[in-house]
Amino acid sequence: MSVATQAAPAKPIAISHVTVIDVVGGRALRDVNVVIRDGKIASVGHDAAPPGATIVDGRGKFLIPGLWDMHVHLSWTTASALPVLIANGVTSVRDLGSRFTEIEDWRSRIAAGVITGPRILRVGPILNGKSFNQYQMVPGNPDQTRGVARALKEMGVDAFKVHRRMERDSYFALIDEAKMLGIPVVGHIPMTVSPEEASNAGQQTIEHVATLFEGTFSKAHPDHLAEAMKAFREHGAEELFALFVKNHTAFDPTLIAYQALVQYYDSSTPPDPRMRYVAASMIKAGAAREKPVVTPAELAEQKAIFEEYKEVVRMANRAGVVIVTGSDIAAERIPGFTLQDELPLLVESGLTPMQALQAATINCATVTKRDKDLGSIDAGKLADLVLLNADPLADIHNTSKIDVVIVDGKLLRRAALDALLRNAEALAKAN
């Protein structure tokens, strides 16, 4: 099912008497009319609906910008994830490691209205010191790494993604070459590089809470990581996060990925019915892997580590670090819904509901330099919007109570969103 079949793009849309969540001003604007024309927001205020416009009654409802997932691996989820993302209000994603040609094909088909899916930023292959899967490549020594960077730029990547095993000298060569090419470096912090060095070097986003502790930190504290992290919060965290603020280093915690890991190890976790949206091939591959036996003490340590991760996010937010939202969907991780699950985890970690919404909208657009067109509800911006049946500022879980999604100016009411989910379920069974 394509977006193009849902509404005539040329016909204006007017959302009347709605409460607009202004993520830039940090406020709710009540009883507002939002007019959409030619795929863009034409006005936000009290303008009357244009003649012939499609009217969406916004009374008692709340309008937010389209959500972002800043950490996805779409080739590793298959195309069945694309409609699920849209059905969950995720209208923009940053793919941090996939098959470049496949992503380009999906981008073209989405733009043409042949399939339904979000806007996709892409990095191509993950750059690592050792290749652990088909979506990673070893860029080589520093000179070779510079050549790889130039080649990836010619391909048209939006960023370079680094992983934890990348060699130190090659990492700094990539950072230097990336600055000359005008392309950001994102990802893990290599294990031979400290978080301070990565921030000072200019890495744009730090992906995952765990990457702060995988390298120099974990070598100093190989056992009882939860206790070591608590000590870090008491001595060192404030200085590190002040540096992040100074250097404009953004932080993508991906807390939901770690919660999923705890649940995977916990035998009492009930089956998740949303697994029906995961590609059958991914479920089969996951079932074939031998599941490790975890003792009660090991499980307790994993849970303690997860709680420490949330405390680290709390400190980062309190320090003023720019936080963005990511789910790290890949393999048998559930697309779309997990980005929705990330928002309550951020609130549990000390963010207000407004800050969580900002993390999922304007922060992502600003970090990726797309805030001129996306990230907030302002006249002149692209019409990627989500209409909610309940107030997300009263309860962040309400971001999942979706009545309408507007993507690229095209209207998808609840019936169309449910149809997308049915289509996605069928695609998942076939993939």
Residue 8 lies in a domain: yes
Instruction: State how far Cα 208 lies from the chain centre.
Output: 11
Same domain for 363 and 383? no
Rg over CA atoms, the chain:
21
- Domain with 296, as residue range(s), is 66-367
Is the pLDDT score of 225 beyond 70? yes
Examine residue 418 and state whether it is found in any structural domain, yes or no. no
Find, among 18, 22, 23, 49, the residue nearest to 35 by Cα: 49
Whether residue 409 is found in the same domain as residue 286: no
CATH of the domain at 222: 3.20.20.140
In the predicted structure, residue 219 carries a pLDDT above the cut 90 = no
Same domain, 339 and 212: yes
Q: CA-CA distance, 293 to 396, in Å (whole number)?
A: 35
Contacts for 281 with CB less than 8 Å, ≥ 6 apart: 78, 431
208 three-state secondary structure: coil
What distances in angstroms separate CA 381 from CA 43, 110, 268, 384, one per listed residue?
10, 19, 46, 9
> Are 18 and 99 in a shared domain?
no
User: 344, 367, 390 — which closes off a domain?
Assistant: 367
Q: Same domain, yes or no, for 342 and 255?
A: yes
Helices (H), 253-376: 255-265, 280-288, 296-319, 337-348, 353-360, 362-367
**Whose CA is closest to 44, among 25, 24, 17?**
17
Same domain as 406, residue 304:
no
Pair 229, 299 in one domain: yes
Burial level of 287, CB count in 10 A (0-12/13-18/19+)?
exposed
Burial class (CB in 10 A: 0-12, 13-18, 19+), 412: buried
User: 276 and 164, same structural domain?
Assistant: yes
For residue 217, the model assigns a pLDDT of 64
Cα distances from 114 to residues 12, 340, 408, in angstroms, run 21, 26, 14
Residue 422 domain-assigned (yes or no): no
* Torsion sign, CA atoms 256, 261, 266, 270: positive
User: pLDDT tens-digit profile of 267-313?
Assistant: 899 999 999 999 999 999 988 888 888 899 999 989 999 999 999 99
Give pLDDT, residue 7. Answer: 46
Burial environment of residue 228 by CB neighbours within 10 A (0 to 12, 13 to 18, 19 or more): middle
pLDDT value of position 216: 65
Match 């609906």 to its residue by tokens: 49
Q: For residue range 314-335, what is the model confidence (pLDDT) as tens digits?
A: 999 999 999 999 999 999 999 9
Mean per-residue pLDDT of the chain: 94
* Sheet with 90-95, edge to edge strand ranges: 67-72, 90-95, 119-122
- The tokens for 31 are 């009883």
Number of domains in the chain: 2
Are 231 and 90 found together in one domain? yes
CA distance 255 to 268: 20
What does the pLDDT average to over 116-127? 97
Contact 11, 52 (CB under 8 A): yes
Residue 45, sorted as left (phi over 0), alpha (psi -120 to 50) or beta, turns out to be left
Q: Is residue 427 part of a domain?
A: no
228 SS3 class:
helix
Are 247 and 115 within one domain?
A: yes
Say if residue 3's pLDDT is above 50.
no
Pair 62, 89: CB distance under 8 Å: no
Kindly report the number of other CB atoms within 10 A of residue 54's CB atom: 16
424 within domain boundaries: no
What average pLDDT does this structure show over 370-374?
Answer: 98
Is residue 309 in some structural domain?
yes
Both 48 and 107 in one domain: the answer is no
CATH number for position 31: 2.30.40.10
Taking the C-alpha atoms of 35, 37, 39 and 42 in order, what is their torsion angle to the nearest 10 degrees?
A: -50
* Percentage of the residues of the chain whose pLDDT score is greater than 70: 96
Dist. CA 213–CA 282, nearest whole Å = 29
The answer to the question of residue 428 being in a domain is: no
241 and 387: one domain? no
Tell me what the mean pLDDT of segment 86-97 comes to.
98
- The reply to whether 421 falls in a domain is no
Domain boundary among 340, 367, 394: 367
